[in-house]
Amino acid sequence: MARLQLVFYPDVILKKRCADITTLDQEIADLVRDMSETMYLENGIGLAAPQVARNIRLVTLDVEPQEGGKSLMHLINPVIADHHGKTTYEEGCLSFPGITAEVKRKNKIHVVAFDVDGNELDFEADGLLSICIQHELDHLNGVTFVDRLTPLAKKMVLREYGQIRRETVEDEQDDIVRAILERDAGA
């Protein structure tokens, strides 16, 4: 197993719609295993392929990580077939370390996907599982949780994130990152 490098906002892959997976092979099986390890090591409950620089429709999630992997799920080419109700939840994201925001989501969802063996999964999800799946599916569609905020809330959250990045990341890309964050916070 290998710990994968996380992708952080404003990396462009986080804004791209991912391609469907058409072949289940050893490469996908290895990626699923590595994504699971990375998610657990980063103390996350969900991880989408674009967050580890893979532009494919794959998510790994475990909303009860303290249970030792009993609720670990891998969803390939997932879609939300139906949804009901509304809820809000204070969300964070491994691609936006250090920030959280209250996001509006659907309360209950009907999901259709495939597992790593090619078996169809067809199930209902609510609560934290529903929120996590919606968050990760957004990543597959090039949408981040800050895109779900009001313009003012997005501006405030991105400003806070920019400050955190400036304090923790010092590299040759600082000016580029700063310009993108300022542009997005003004949008």
Active-site residues, by number, are: 136
Instruction: Please say if the pLDDT value at position 100 is more than 60.
Output: yes
Structure tokens at 110: 């009907």
Q: Is the peptide bond before 10 cis (omega within 30 degrees of 0)?
A: yes
Predicted TM-score (pTM) of the model is 0.90
**DSSP state, residue 118:** S
**Cα 104 to Cα 82: distance, rounded to the nearest angstrom:** 16
Q: What is the pLDDT of residues 106-148, one digit of tens each?
A: 999 999 999 999 999 999 999 999 999 999 999 999 999 999 9
